[in-house]
Amino acid sequence: MKDIDYDLLYSSTLLKGTNSLEDFHSWLENCLESGQFKVDLTPLNSLKGWSMNESSGAYGHESGKFFKINGLFVEREVNDSIQRWTQLIINQAEQGILGLLAKKIDGVIHVLVQAKMEPGNIGFIQISPTVQSTRSNFTRVHGGKSTKYIEYFLGKNSGTTIFNQLRSEQGSRYYRKRNQNIVILLDDNHSIEKHQNYFWLTLGQLRELHKVPNLVHLDCRSIIGGMPFSIPSELNTPQSMPIGNRENLNSLFCSDSNALYSLRDLVSWFTNEKVKNIKHTKLISINDVKSWNYDGNSIKHDKGRFFDIVGVEVYSPGREVSSWSQPLIKCANGGIIGLIAQVHNGILHFLIQARFEAGFIDTVELAPTVQYSPKNYEVDTNIQSPHFIEYFTKDSKYELLVNTFLSNEGGRFFESENQHIVVKVPKTEVIELKDGYEWMTLSQLHHFGSMELTLNVELRSLIFCLTLT
Protein backbone atom coordinates (compact mmCIF):
# COMPACT_ATOMS: atom_id res chain seq x y z
CA MET A 1 0.00 0.00 0.00
CA LYS A 2 3.06 2.25 0.39
CA ASP A 3 3.20 3.01 -3.33
CA ILE A 4 -0.54 3.73 -3.41
CA ASP A 5 -0.11 6.23 -0.55
CA TYR A 6 2.46 8.14 -2.57
CA ASP A 7 0.40 7.92 -5.76
CA LEU A 8 -2.68 9.34 -4.01
CA LEU A 9 -0.68 12.25 -2.64
CA TYR A 10 0.94 12.91 -6.00
CA SER A 11 -2.44 12.85 -7.79
CA SER A 12 -3.73 15.36 -5.21
CA THR A 13 -1.08 17.88 -6.30
CA LEU A 14 -1.74 17.70 -10.06
CA LEU A 15 -4.02 20.11 -11.92
CA LYS A 16 -3.44 18.40 -15.26
CA GLY A 17 -3.92 14.74 -16.04
CA THR A 18 -5.04 12.81 -19.09
CA ASN A 19 -7.56 15.64 -19.52
CA SER A 20 -7.18 19.34 -18.75
CA LEU A 21 -9.66 21.37 -16.72
CA GLU A 22 -10.56 23.11 -19.99
CA ASP A 23 -11.48 19.69 -21.40
CA PHE A 24 -13.58 19.05 -18.32
CA HIS A 25 -15.58 22.26 -18.63
CA SER A 26 -16.27 21.58 -22.33
CA TRP A 27 -17.49 18.09 -21.45
CA LEU A 28 -19.68 19.46 -18.64
CA GLU A 29 -21.24 22.04 -20.95
CA ASN A 30 -22.12 19.29 -23.41
CA CYS A 31 -23.74 17.27 -20.60
CA LEU A 32 -25.85 20.27 -19.62
CA GLU A 33 -26.87 21.03 -23.20
CA SER A 34 -27.88 17.43 -23.91
CA GLY A 35 -29.96 17.10 -20.74
CA GLN A 36 -33.70 17.70 -20.57
CA PHE A 37 -34.40 18.36 -16.91
CA LYS A 38 -37.53 19.59 -15.20
CA VAL A 39 -38.32 19.91 -11.48
CA ASP A 40 -41.66 21.32 -10.30
CA LEU A 41 -42.68 22.06 -6.73
CA THR A 42 -45.83 20.08 -5.91
CA PRO A 43 -48.05 19.75 -2.79
CA LEU A 44 -47.05 16.83 -0.58
CA ASN A 45 -50.58 15.43 -0.61
CA SER A 46 -50.48 15.04 -4.41
CA LEU A 47 -47.14 13.21 -4.75
CA LYS A 48 -47.62 9.87 -6.50
CA GLY A 49 -46.79 6.97 -4.17
CA TRP A 50 -46.15 9.18 -1.12
CA SER A 51 -48.51 9.89 1.78
CA MET A 52 -48.86 10.45 5.50
CA ASN A 53 -49.26 7.18 7.44
CA GLU A 54 -52.02 7.83 9.95
CA SER A 55 -50.94 5.06 12.36
CA SER A 56 -47.20 5.87 12.52
CA GLY A 57 -47.44 9.59 11.80
CA ALA A 58 -44.61 9.35 9.24
CA TYR A 59 -44.61 10.67 5.69
CA GLY A 60 -43.25 7.97 3.38
CA HIS A 61 -43.42 5.90 0.19
CA GLU A 62 -46.04 3.21 -0.37
CA SER A 63 -43.28 0.59 -0.97
CA GLY A 64 -41.87 1.13 2.51
CA LYS A 65 -38.49 1.78 0.85
CA PHE A 66 -36.42 4.88 0.02
CA PHE A 67 -36.94 7.03 3.15
CA LYS A 68 -39.49 8.51 5.57
CA ILE A 69 -39.96 11.86 7.28
CA ASN A 70 -40.45 11.26 10.99
CA GLY A 71 -40.69 13.26 14.16
CA LEU A 72 -37.92 12.83 16.74
CA PHE A 73 -37.93 13.33 20.50
CA VAL A 74 -34.47 14.25 21.86
CA GLU A 75 -33.15 14.40 25.41
CA ARG A 76 -29.56 15.54 25.93
CA GLU A 77 -27.79 15.55 29.26
CA VAL A 78 -24.45 17.40 29.51
CA ASN A 79 -22.66 19.24 32.32
CA ASP A 80 -25.51 18.49 34.78
CA SER A 81 -28.11 20.15 32.52
CA ILE A 82 -30.90 18.46 30.57
CA GLN A 83 -32.22 19.73 27.25
CA ARG A 84 -35.34 18.31 25.57
CA TRP A 85 -36.84 19.08 22.20
CA THR A 86 -38.69 17.62 19.22
CA GLN A 87 -37.83 18.00 15.53
CA LEU A 88 -38.36 16.55 12.09
CA ILE A 89 -35.80 14.09 10.75
CA ILE A 90 -35.13 11.93 7.67
CA ASN A 91 -35.41 8.27 8.58
CA GLN A 92 -33.50 6.21 6.00
CA ALA A 93 -32.40 2.97 7.59
CA GLU A 94 -30.73 1.52 4.50
CA GLN A 95 -27.08 2.25 3.71
CA GLY A 96 -26.18 3.63 0.32
CA ILE A 97 -22.97 3.30 -1.68
CA LEU A 98 -20.80 6.33 -2.46
CA GLY A 99 -18.10 4.82 -4.62
CA LEU A 100 -15.18 6.12 -6.68
CA LEU A 101 -13.38 4.03 -9.29
CA ALA A 102 -9.71 4.96 -9.60
CA LYS A 103 -7.21 3.97 -12.27
CA LYS A 104 -3.63 4.83 -13.16
CA ILE A 105 -3.54 6.67 -16.47
CA ASP A 106 -0.05 7.56 -17.75
CA GLY A 107 1.27 6.66 -14.29
CA VAL A 108 -1.08 9.03 -12.41
CA ILE A 109 -4.13 8.02 -10.38
CA HIS A 110 -7.39 9.39 -11.82
CA VAL A 111 -10.91 8.97 -10.46
CA LEU A 112 -14.03 8.44 -12.55
CA VAL A 113 -16.70 11.06 -11.79
CA GLN A 114 -20.14 11.51 -13.27
CA ALA A 115 -22.29 14.49 -14.22
CA LYS A 116 -25.34 13.51 -12.19
CA MET A 117 -28.73 15.14 -12.10
CA GLU A 118 -30.42 15.35 -8.70
CA PRO A 119 -33.80 17.10 -8.23
CA GLY A 120 -32.48 19.42 -5.52
CA ASN A 121 -29.23 20.36 -7.24
CA ILE A 122 -28.55 24.01 -7.92
CA GLY A 123 -27.97 24.00 -11.68
CA PHE A 124 -29.41 20.47 -12.10
CA ILE A 125 -26.04 18.73 -12.68
CA GLN A 126 -23.19 18.34 -10.20
CA ILE A 127 -20.00 16.28 -10.23
CA SER A 128 -20.72 13.11 -8.29
CA PRO A 129 -18.87 9.88 -7.47
CA THR A 130 -18.81 7.00 -9.96
CA VAL A 131 -21.64 5.42 -7.99
CA GLN A 132 -23.99 7.38 -5.77
CA SER A 133 -26.91 5.13 -4.97
CA THR A 134 -29.20 4.07 -2.16
CA ARG A 135 -29.94 0.37 -1.69
CA SER A 136 -33.49 0.96 -2.91
CA ASN A 137 -32.06 2.38 -6.13
CA PHE A 138 -29.39 -0.21 -6.90
CA THR A 139 -31.80 -3.07 -6.04
CA ARG A 140 -34.18 -1.37 -8.54
CA VAL A 141 -37.22 -0.89 -6.31
CA HIS A 142 -38.13 1.86 -8.79
CA GLY A 143 -38.35 -0.73 -11.61
CA GLY A 144 -35.96 1.25 -13.80
CA LYS A 145 -32.50 0.76 -15.26
CA SER A 146 -29.57 -0.60 -13.25
CA THR A 147 -26.98 1.72 -11.69
CA LYS A 148 -23.91 2.04 -13.91
CA TYR A 149 -20.70 0.51 -12.48
CA ILE A 150 -22.48 -0.78 -9.36
CA GLU A 151 -21.03 -4.27 -9.95
CA TYR A 152 -17.55 -2.99 -9.03
CA PHE A 153 -18.75 -2.16 -5.53
CA LEU A 154 -20.69 -5.39 -4.97
CA GLY A 155 -17.81 -7.82 -4.96
CA LYS A 156 -16.46 -7.88 -8.54
CA ASN A 157 -12.75 -8.76 -8.29
CA SER A 158 -11.19 -6.17 -10.55
CA GLY A 159 -8.92 -4.10 -8.34
CA THR A 160 -7.69 -3.08 -4.89
CA THR A 161 -9.96 -1.52 -2.31
CA ILE A 162 -7.88 1.39 -0.99
CA PHE A 163 -10.55 2.91 1.21
CA ASN A 164 -13.80 1.50 2.61
CA GLN A 165 -15.66 3.06 5.50
CA LEU A 166 -19.18 3.71 6.83
CA ARG A 167 -19.68 7.44 7.38
CA SER A 168 -22.43 9.56 8.85
CA GLU A 169 -24.63 12.03 7.03
CA GLN A 170 -25.93 15.31 8.54
CA GLY A 171 -26.77 14.52 12.14
CA SER A 172 -29.26 17.36 12.39
CA ARG A 173 -31.24 16.09 9.38
CA TYR A 174 -30.82 12.28 9.27
CA TYR A 175 -31.60 9.70 11.94
CA ARG A 176 -28.59 7.39 12.46
CA LYS A 177 -27.80 7.53 8.74
CA ARG A 178 -24.61 6.04 7.32
CA ASN A 179 -23.32 5.51 3.80
CA GLN A 180 -20.50 3.32 2.57
CA ASN A 181 -17.65 5.53 1.27
CA ILE A 182 -15.41 3.36 -0.91
CA VAL A 183 -12.55 3.84 -3.39
CA ILE A 184 -11.40 0.98 -5.65
CA LEU A 185 -8.17 1.17 -7.66
CA LEU A 186 -8.64 -0.86 -10.83
CA ASP A 187 -5.91 -3.22 -11.98
CA ASP A 188 -3.57 -1.69 -14.56
CA ASN A 189 -4.58 -4.24 -17.17
CA HIS A 190 -8.32 -3.85 -16.54
CA SER A 191 -10.20 -2.07 -19.32
CA ILE A 192 -13.38 -0.20 -18.47
CA GLU A 193 -15.99 1.32 -20.74
CA LYS A 194 -16.45 5.03 -20.03
CA HIS A 195 -20.03 6.13 -20.54
CA GLN A 196 -20.95 9.52 -21.98
CA ASN A 197 -21.67 11.31 -18.69
CA TYR A 198 -18.46 10.17 -16.96
CA PHE A 199 -15.02 11.81 -16.87
CA TRP A 200 -11.52 11.03 -15.53
CA LEU A 201 -9.94 13.61 -13.19
CA THR A 202 -6.87 13.66 -10.97
CA LEU A 203 -7.56 14.18 -7.27
CA GLY A 204 -5.94 17.59 -7.57
CA GLN A 205 -8.28 18.59 -10.41
CA LEU A 206 -11.32 17.37 -8.50
CA ARG A 207 -10.37 19.30 -5.37
CA GLU A 208 -9.52 22.42 -7.39
CA LEU A 209 -13.09 22.44 -8.74
CA HIS A 210 -14.39 23.31 -5.25
CA LYS A 211 -13.73 26.92 -6.27
CA VAL A 212 -16.61 26.72 -8.76
CA PRO A 213 -19.81 27.36 -6.75
CA ASN A 214 -22.17 24.40 -6.36
CA LEU A 215 -20.30 22.14 -8.78
CA VAL A 216 -18.70 19.32 -6.76
CA HIS A 217 -21.35 17.18 -5.10
CA LEU A 218 -21.30 16.68 -1.33
CA ASP A 219 -20.78 12.92 -1.77
CA CYS A 220 -17.51 13.52 -3.65
CA ARG A 221 -16.40 15.90 -0.93
CA SER A 222 -17.35 13.36 1.72
CA ILE A 223 -15.19 10.60 0.23
CA ILE A 224 -12.08 12.61 -0.62
CA GLY A 225 -12.23 15.08 2.27
CA GLY A 226 -12.20 12.38 4.88
CA MET A 227 -9.97 9.83 3.16
CA PRO A 228 -6.88 9.32 5.33
CA PHE A 229 -3.47 9.66 3.70
CA SER A 230 -0.77 7.44 5.18
CA ILE A 231 2.50 9.24 4.57
CA PRO A 232 5.14 6.86 3.16
CA SER A 233 8.24 6.76 5.39
CA GLU A 234 10.53 8.01 2.62
CA LEU A 235 8.40 11.13 2.30
CA ASN A 236 9.39 12.63 5.63
CA THR A 237 9.08 16.21 4.42
CA PRO A 238 6.61 18.00 2.12
CA GLN A 239 9.61 19.06 0.03
CA SER A 240 9.65 15.46 -1.21
CA MET A 241 6.58 16.36 -3.27
CA PRO A 242 7.42 18.04 -6.58
CA ILE A 243 4.77 20.75 -6.26
CA GLY A 244 1.99 21.72 -3.93
CA ASN A 245 0.60 24.05 -1.27
CA ARG A 246 3.50 24.05 1.18
CA GLU A 247 1.52 25.32 4.16
CA ASN A 248 -1.16 22.64 3.81
CA LEU A 249 1.45 19.97 3.03
CA ASN A 250 3.43 20.98 6.14
CA SER A 251 0.26 20.50 8.20
CA LEU A 252 -0.40 17.15 6.51
CA PHE A 253 3.16 15.88 7.04
CA CYS A 254 3.39 17.23 10.59
CA SER A 255 4.64 14.86 13.28
CA ASP A 256 3.14 14.74 16.75
CA SER A 257 6.25 16.38 18.19
CA ASN A 258 5.56 19.58 16.21
CA ALA A 259 1.81 19.66 16.84
CA LEU A 260 0.28 21.72 19.62
CA TYR A 261 -1.25 18.58 21.17
CA SER A 262 -0.34 14.92 20.78
CA LEU A 263 -2.67 12.57 18.96
CA ARG A 264 -2.98 10.54 22.16
CA ASP A 265 -4.20 13.63 24.04
CA LEU A 266 -6.67 14.51 21.28
CA VAL A 267 -8.14 11.00 21.18
CA SER A 268 -8.55 11.15 24.97
CA TRP A 269 -10.21 14.58 24.73
CA PHE A 270 -12.59 13.39 22.02
CA THR A 271 -13.50 10.29 24.03
CA ASN A 272 -14.26 12.44 27.07
CA GLU A 273 -16.48 14.68 24.94
CA LYS A 274 -18.47 11.65 23.81
CA VAL A 275 -18.78 10.30 27.33
CA LYS A 276 -19.97 13.53 28.95
CA ASN A 277 -22.87 13.80 26.46
CA ILE A 278 -25.77 11.47 27.26
CA LYS A 279 -28.46 11.12 24.60
CA HIS A 280 -31.91 9.55 24.45
CA THR A 281 -33.92 9.69 21.22
CA LYS A 282 -37.23 8.25 20.03
CA LEU A 283 -38.99 8.40 16.68
CA ILE A 284 -42.44 9.96 17.06
CA SER A 285 -45.37 11.10 14.90
CA ILE A 286 -44.96 14.29 12.90
CA ASN A 287 -48.17 15.45 14.60
CA ASP A 288 -46.37 15.32 17.97
CA VAL A 289 -43.51 17.61 16.91
CA LYS A 290 -43.96 20.99 18.56
CA SER A 291 -44.16 24.13 16.42
CA TRP A 292 -44.35 22.21 13.11
CA ASN A 293 -47.48 22.06 10.95
CA TYR A 294 -48.57 19.93 7.98
CA ASP A 295 -51.22 21.61 5.81
CA GLY A 296 -51.22 19.18 2.87
CA ASN A 297 -48.91 21.38 0.79
CA SER A 298 -45.79 21.28 2.95
CA ILE A 299 -44.54 20.87 6.50
CA LYS A 300 -43.25 24.11 8.04
CA HIS A 301 -42.01 25.52 11.32
CA ASP A 302 -44.41 28.14 12.64
CA LYS A 303 -41.61 30.72 13.06
CA GLY A 304 -40.00 29.97 9.69
CA ARG A 305 -36.93 28.39 11.32
CA PHE A 306 -34.85 25.39 10.30
CA PHE A 307 -36.40 24.07 7.06
CA ASP A 308 -39.58 23.10 5.18
CA ILE A 309 -40.59 19.72 3.75
CA VAL A 310 -41.75 20.25 0.15
CA GLY A 311 -42.75 17.97 -2.72
CA VAL A 312 -41.31 17.83 -6.26
CA GLU A 313 -42.23 16.20 -9.56
CA VAL A 314 -39.07 15.32 -11.50
CA TYR A 315 -38.32 14.65 -15.18
CA SER A 316 -34.79 13.46 -16.01
CA PRO A 317 -34.51 11.10 -19.01
CA GLY A 318 -30.90 10.15 -18.21
CA ARG A 319 -31.66 8.65 -14.78
CA GLU A 320 -32.59 5.05 -13.94
CA VAL A 321 -36.23 6.12 -14.27
CA SER A 322 -37.18 9.13 -16.37
CA SER A 323 -39.72 10.65 -13.97
CA TRP A 324 -40.67 10.35 -10.32
CA SER A 325 -42.09 12.18 -7.28
CA GLN A 326 -40.50 12.73 -3.86
CA PRO A 327 -40.31 15.06 -0.85
CA LEU A 328 -37.26 17.26 -0.26
CA ILE A 329 -35.95 19.37 2.60
CA LYS A 330 -35.93 23.06 1.71
CA CYS A 331 -33.47 24.90 3.96
CA ALA A 332 -32.97 28.61 4.31
CA ASN A 333 -29.85 29.44 2.30
CA GLY A 334 -27.00 31.42 3.74
CA GLY A 335 -25.64 28.75 6.08
CA ILE A 336 -22.00 29.07 7.14
CA ILE A 337 -19.53 26.22 7.57
CA GLY A 338 -16.32 27.75 8.87
CA LEU A 339 -12.87 26.79 10.12
CA ILE A 340 -10.39 28.98 11.97
CA ALA A 341 -6.77 28.31 10.99
CA GLN A 342 -3.76 29.55 12.94
CA VAL A 343 -0.05 28.75 13.02
CA HIS A 344 1.21 27.06 16.20
CA ASN A 345 4.79 25.77 16.54
CA GLY A 346 5.33 26.79 12.92
CA ILE A 347 2.53 24.49 11.68
CA LEU A 348 -0.96 25.39 10.46
CA HIS A 349 -3.62 24.13 12.91
CA PHE A 350 -7.41 24.17 12.68
CA LEU A 351 -9.91 24.84 15.46
CA ILE A 352 -12.22 21.82 15.70
CA GLN A 353 -15.31 21.31 17.85
CA ALA A 354 -16.83 18.13 19.23
CA ARG A 355 -20.39 18.73 18.06
CA PHE A 356 -23.56 17.09 19.37
CA GLU A 357 -26.30 16.36 16.83
CA ALA A 358 -29.48 14.44 17.55
CA GLY A 359 -29.25 12.08 14.57
CA PHE A 360 -25.69 10.84 15.17
CA ILE A 361 -25.27 7.16 16.03
CA ASP A 362 -22.78 8.31 18.66
CA THR A 363 -23.23 11.47 20.72
CA VAL A 364 -20.69 13.80 19.07
CA GLU A 365 -18.48 13.95 15.99
CA LEU A 366 -15.63 16.27 15.07
CA ALA A 367 -16.99 19.32 13.27
CA PRO A 368 -15.88 22.71 11.88
CA THR A 369 -15.35 25.67 14.21
CA VAL A 370 -18.70 27.11 13.16
CA GLN A 371 -21.68 25.40 11.57
CA TYR A 372 -24.90 27.43 11.61
CA SER A 373 -27.72 29.09 9.70
CA PRO A 374 -28.01 32.86 10.39
CA LYS A 375 -31.76 32.87 9.62
CA ASN A 376 -32.49 30.70 12.67
CA TYR A 377 -31.02 33.40 14.87
CA GLU A 378 -32.63 36.31 13.03
CA VAL A 379 -36.17 35.06 13.71
CA ASP A 380 -35.48 34.19 17.36
CA THR A 381 -33.20 36.72 19.08
CA ASN A 382 -33.37 34.80 22.36
CA ILE A 383 -31.04 32.12 21.00
CA GLN A 384 -27.35 32.59 21.76
CA SER A 385 -25.13 32.80 18.69
CA PRO A 386 -22.48 30.08 18.22
CA HIS A 387 -18.97 30.56 19.58
CA PHE A 388 -16.44 32.24 17.23
CA ILE A 389 -19.04 33.48 14.73
CA GLU A 390 -17.39 36.93 14.78
CA TYR A 391 -14.51 35.50 12.70
CA PHE A 392 -16.85 34.79 9.78
CA THR A 393 -18.80 38.03 9.41
CA LYS A 394 -18.80 40.04 6.19
CA ASP A 395 -16.47 42.65 7.71
CA SER A 396 -13.99 40.04 8.94
CA LYS A 397 -10.40 41.28 8.61
CA TYR A 398 -8.76 37.86 8.30
CA GLU A 399 -7.09 36.16 5.34
CA LEU A 400 -9.43 33.79 3.49
CA LEU A 401 -7.87 30.43 2.69
CA VAL A 402 -11.21 29.08 1.42
CA ASN A 403 -14.33 31.02 0.45
CA THR A 404 -16.87 29.27 -1.76
CA PHE A 405 -20.53 28.20 -1.88
CA LEU A 406 -21.20 24.47 -2.05
CA SER A 407 -24.47 22.55 -2.03
CA ASN A 408 -26.02 19.98 0.23
CA GLU A 409 -26.92 16.62 -1.30
CA GLY A 410 -29.51 17.22 -4.03
CA GLY A 411 -31.33 13.92 -3.60
CA ARG A 412 -32.74 15.06 -0.24
CA PHE A 413 -32.22 18.85 -0.12
CA PHE A 414 -33.83 21.42 -2.42
CA GLU A 415 -31.41 24.06 -3.75
CA SER A 416 -29.57 24.18 -0.44
CA GLU A 417 -26.10 25.71 -0.25
CA ASN A 418 -23.64 26.71 2.48
CA GLN A 419 -20.75 29.12 2.43
CA HIS A 420 -17.53 27.24 3.11
CA ILE A 421 -14.96 29.52 4.78
CA VAL A 422 -11.50 28.97 6.23
CA VAL A 423 -10.01 32.09 7.85
CA LYS A 424 -6.36 32.40 8.85
CA VAL A 425 -5.91 34.32 12.08
CA PRO A 426 -2.43 35.83 12.76
CA LYS A 427 -0.39 33.79 15.23
CA THR A 428 0.03 36.90 17.37
CA GLU A 429 -3.72 37.04 18.07
CA VAL A 430 -4.80 35.06 21.13
CA ILE A 431 -7.90 32.90 20.63
CA GLU A 432 -9.51 31.81 23.88
CA LEU A 433 -10.60 28.18 23.61
CA LYS A 434 -14.15 27.28 24.62
CA ASP A 435 -15.29 24.01 26.15
CA GLY A 436 -15.51 21.33 23.45
CA TYR A 437 -12.90 22.86 21.08
CA GLU A 438 -9.30 21.86 20.29
CA TRP A 439 -6.53 22.62 17.76
CA MET A 440 -5.55 19.93 15.24
CA THR A 441 -3.20 19.64 12.27
CA LEU A 442 -4.25 18.19 8.91
CA SER A 443 -2.18 15.12 9.77
CA GLN A 444 -4.20 14.59 12.94
CA LEU A 445 -7.51 15.18 11.15
CA HIS A 446 -6.57 12.58 8.54
CA HIS A 447 -5.76 10.15 11.36
CA PHE A 448 -9.22 10.70 12.85
CA GLY A 449 -10.56 10.19 9.34
CA SER A 450 -9.29 6.60 9.49
CA MET A 451 -11.88 5.92 12.22
CA GLU A 452 -15.57 5.53 11.44
CA LEU A 453 -18.16 8.03 12.66
CA THR A 454 -15.54 10.58 13.67
CA LEU A 455 -15.43 13.45 11.13
CA ASN A 456 -18.88 14.85 10.42
CA VAL A 457 -19.86 15.46 6.81
CA GLU A 458 -19.49 19.24 7.06
CA LEU A 459 -15.90 18.92 8.28
CA ARG A 460 -15.10 16.40 5.54
CA SER A 461 -16.47 18.89 3.02
CA LEU A 462 -14.20 21.66 4.33
CA ILE A 463 -11.13 19.43 4.43
CA PHE A 464 -11.82 18.62 0.76
CA CYS A 465 -11.49 22.36 0.03
CA LEU A 466 -8.03 22.53 1.65
CA THR A 467 -6.24 21.68 -1.57
CA LEU A 468 -2.68 20.39 -1.77
CA THR A 469 -2.07 22.10 -5.12
Q: What is the DSSP string of 20-44?
A: -HHHHHHHHHHHHHH---EEEEE-G
pLDDT 10s digits, 58-111: 999 999 989 999 999 999 999 889 999 999 999 998 889 999 999 999 999 999
Q: What's the number of domains the chain is made of?
A: 3
Cα–Cα distance, 465 to 206 (Å, whole number): 10
The mean predicted confidence, pLDDT, of the chain is: 91
For residue 231, give the CATH number of its domain: 3.90.79.40
The whole-number pLDDT of residue 316 equals: 85
Cα–Cα distance, 325 to 310 (Å, whole number): 11
Above 80 in pLDDT, residue 402?
A: yes
**Is 247 part of a structural domain of the chain?**
no
- Residue span of the structural domain in which 368 resides: 253-279+334-465
Strand partners, 325: 313
What average pLDDT score do residues 127-137 get?
A: 87
The whole-number pLDDT of residue 234 equals: 58
pLDDT 10s digits, 408-466: 999 999 999 999 999 999 999 999 999 999 999 999 999 999 999 999 999 999 999 99
**Is 150 part of a structural domain of the chain?**
yes
Whether 371 and 349 map to the same domain: the answer is yes
pLDDT 10s digits, 21-62: 999 999 999 998 887 789 999 999 999 999 999 899 999 999
Whether 206 and 141 map to the same domain: the answer is yes
Whether 274 and 378 map to the same domain: the answer is yes
pLDDT 10s digits, 270-288: 999 999 999 999 999 999 9
**Is 87 part of a structural domain of the chain?**
yes
The whole-number pLDDT of residue 238 equals: 60
**Is-contact 396 389, C-beta < 8 A?**
no
Whether 98 and 207 map to the same domain: the answer is yes
Whether 352 and 461 map to the same domain: the answer is yes
Whether 197 and 101 map to the same domain: the answer is yes
Cα–Cα distance, 437 to 221 (Å, whole number): 23
Whether 98 and 192 map to the same domain: the answer is yes
**Is 248 part of a structural domain of the chain?**
no
The whole-number pLDDT of residue 143 equals: 63
**Is 224 part of a structural domain of the chain?**
yes
Cα–Cα distance, 396 to 281 (Å, whole number): 38
Whether 189 and 292 map to the same domain: the answer is no
**Is-contact 326 312, C-beta < 8 A?**
yes
Above 70 in pLDDT, residue 10?
A: yes
Above 90 in pLDDT, residue 134?
A: no
pLDDT 10s digits, 171-217: 999 999 999 999 999 999 998 988 989 999 999 999 999 999 999 99
Which pTM was predicted? 0.94
Whether 75 and 105 map to the same domain: the answer is no
Whether 207 and 156 map to the same domain: the answer is yes
Whether 326 and 395 map to the same domain: the answer is no
Whether 62 and 175 map to the same domain: the answer is no
